[in-house]
Copies of this chain bind each other. A is one copy, B any other.
Amino acid sequence: MYESIDKNVNRSVTFSQEELDIFHSLLEHRSVPKKTFLLQEGEVCNFEAYVIKGCVRTYYIDENGFEVILQFGIEDWWLGDAASFNEQTPTKLFIETIEDSELFIFTPHSKEELLFRVPKFERVFRLLIQRNLAATQSRLFHTFSKPAQERYLEFIEKYPTIPQRVPQHYIASYLGISPEFLSKIRGKLAKK
């Protein structure tokens, strides 16, 4: 049960069995059916979650009333709203399961206790944010530099399982294009 998450945190820092035991004792396991909101706009985010199994999306609603998808969370991903979680401010995000999912949950309290008892985890969490930042920057610049078709091809290469698991218009939203246009891109690619 802890295999995947242990491997995840061990990537950047090495922990002893004792430290991992503390880690495990502070994790809360949660099973969530699909189409369930883990977080809604206006709430304070009181969790950071690791996805053991399943599929989740994070999005917000822009001023024109459109959903914009921030990220998908599948196996071995972390999700949450770091700003809301850490500063206990209301979130603008929605986090919703797309499939039945299994998660490990940190609360502000359990995370604090983990950091207190095993300070090396500071580094793990900092690296998580840092990678997230690097990925977001890269996504921003691809949006500037590359046409939608190329971004789509890169998306399915990078996340090959997601297209089979989520509605196509979610992917369009993630790419920043309209569902119709994504459909046309796919049509054009198919007939080659």
Contacts and interface: CB of A to CB of B under 8 A. Distances in A.
Interface in A112-168: 119, 122, 125-127, 129-134, 136-137, 139-141, 143-145
A141 B93 CA distance: 12
A64 interface: yes
Contacts of A32: none
A135 B84 CA distance: 14
Interface residues of A, number: 30
A63 B142 CA distance: 10
A144 to B, nearest CB: 4
B62 A141 contact: yes
**Interface-centre pick from A125, A130, A134 (highest chain B CB count, 10 A):** A130
Given A83-B134, A137-B70, A137-B136, A64 B126 contact: no
Contacts of A176: 143-144
